[in-house]
Structure 1
């Protein structure tokens, strides 16, 4: 009798097979030097890797990262799922579903109340409770726009821009910026060294105000007469103008400029000719892993009174989130969520739609329109007033 597939954590002995599968699935060859570099970070305290094996041969795998993410200005422990891959002959056997269910249990044990991932297919991960939580705005403009922008800004006293050699000088500015958005990562030294400096090559330019404070920066590179901005981080309108003037000084060496911004960015509105290419691109998905501790940490909008809502949450793959709940939000914005027995809840919603709502990616009207939300419109309106207006954004990838 043949043994069935076995799910277990990867060990150092699985390194070569794991790299072969990753290299094949994501279509990138690894040099000997890159392999050795990855070997040293294959299994660390902040990484958990799991796979499905048939006769001790790796069939499918995924990586769980221990990260922290900002939601309403607060840091939440987040499980980042990456490297989900399966050999073609083992696809459509439910192996990834088994892995995701295993990772949900693991994240709950870790105290990671929210999870995020970059999907190969949005519809695939929706089946397991993840939902779109972010789209970013991608700009593209010509050098002609840069010339007019330079003329517009050159007479203003905006401070200075200097090239920066040390990424550590950017950390404080990044942190202040990240807290403004839902879904931005908290970056430690390791993340800067291993992710930012390697994935975002080029020049660092810092924007300094008259007090000598760094209130903005950009990471960019120029190749084939195209400037690509990997990060454009500003704390003030003056810092944005300062960096745009710096960009405009490149007009003789570039034909086009490309960069990304939060979905609510209004840069084009300030241009003399706002007819530049703008595209909204769905990016990452998120999912509440453990709804009760998530709500306990989640800061709602303060009010003049305590409010109570009754919810029916559906979550097929994390049964601890499935059922009827009482949501009690204090006037301070502190809340609790408790499982209760209910006959008729005010709000009926899936875990994915609830994630999208609480991260402020979609409001109740949209969720109701696409039939992801049912119940009392009065209760939906009252709950919407307690959800803070923070735009979702992410400048990282994993």
Structure 2
């Protein structure tokens, strides 16, 4: 019997936890020294990863009793233009090298996507360790991460605001309240349940602190998550509901002028900080962050809020998917005057062709139809492009989580 014939696909359960953890550690080359540098001990990482097996859908290949390949899917929700959509968060992907190039991960992903379809998780997100690898399997970039570095002398001068900032524990209820309000307005953002919050905090340093901005009526309108190390103020995330909160939080950052040499941090939207600062000569770096793929195009379109145009819209196109046969073929998109979409298989002549990767990034408004045509990712006539531009909402995707 060949090695391939010995392999069986199955559920990875809590009894397999030790093997699950060992495979993750091997694939991502996490050493004891790495863990010690961030203050983690063996027992802590074991406890940290146990929720994956408890709450996620984990699949693997077994060679007898040995776990040799695996992936996990978290049950999450995201905000798509104001509508909450079930999302399958793909993580924990790995195969031992001696079992590579046997098609194991392809089959695991195919099964995981089929399971997502059954659970009505019409879209999947992941953090890519290799963008080309996941692109070939139907995922595409949908969000950016901007890192910035501001010297102490470049910090903005204090501006008067009616509110104030309080330093609180990161677990304070007002931190959750602010994020819930923020994520309800931010397209593509995670709607954080307890599991999502646990993942969000999982690898943070112990010194992480929350600074919450309150307006004049004591309503929390923004927060800053930060720590200070070796004369540097590090910002994990800064969010605000309005410009008053933004100014108030930067007043707080600026108050560290005599304590730190610089401020470094992250922004998860296409909003260059340099334009807002008086001294704009700062260091900024933009890089792709998360990827997504539509799991079931018909399901997703039925949930997706198109822009209401007051007229009926109909477009027929050819869709291609490198993994899923239910996303392959000719489809007709119907959009009602109110913006309700419906996607049905069709025998009509397609006006354009598109793959699932491009459809995903286009519908999430990371890249617009006109741009996708210009770079030959969308093969379409101008009339169809004009219609797509008209019915697809325009808002930069925001995603600051990691799992």
Cα deviation for residue 40 of structure 1 reads: 4.7
Match of 1:225 among 223, 227, 231: 231
Match of 1:267 in 2: 273
Match of 2:380 in 1: 375
Match of 2:38 in 1: none
Match of 2:10 in 1: 8
Match of 1:110 in 2: 119
Match of 1:314 in 2: 320
Match of 1:67 in 2: 76
Query: Residues of 2 paired with 1:111 and 1:288: CA distance?
Result: 11
- Decide whether the 8 Å contact of 2:354 with 2:379 is kept in 1: yes
- Confirm whether residue 34 of structure 1 aligns to residue 40 of structure 2: no
Point out the more displaced range, 90-99 or 190-199.
Answer: 190-199
Alignment of 1:159-308 (within 5 A): 159-165=163-169, 166-193=171-198, 195-196=200-201, 199=204, 201=206, 202-308=208-314
SS across alignment from 1:195: helix
Matched residues, number:
391
Query: What TM-score does the superposition give when structure 2 sets the normalisation length?
Result: 0.92
- Confirm whether residue 49 of structure 1 aligns to residue 58 of structure 2: yes
Cα deviation for residue 243 of structure 1 reads: 0.5
Alignment of 1:88-107 (within 5 A): 88-107=97-116
Structure 1 unpaired stretches of 5+: none
Cα deviation for residue 53 of structure 1 reads: 2.0
SS across alignment from 1:199: coil
Query: Residues of 1 paired with 2:188 and 2:177: CA distance?
Result: 18
Q: Which stretches of structure 1, 4 residues or longer, exceed 4 Å deviation after superposition?
A: none
Alignment of 1:138-157 (within 5 A): 138-146=147-155, 149-150=156-157, 153-154=158-159, 156-157=160-161
Match of 1:386 among 382, 391, 402: 391
Cα deviation for residue 39 of structure 1 reads: 6.8
- Decide whether the 8 Å contact of 2:149 with 2:262 is kept in 1: yes
Cα deviation for residue 193 of structure 1 reads: 4.2
SS across alignment from 2:217: coil
In 2 relative to 1, CA 245–108 (structure 1 residues): closer, same or farther, beyond 3 Å?
same
SS across alignment from 2:53: coil
- Decide whether the 8 Å contact of 1:158 with 1:239 is kept in 2: no
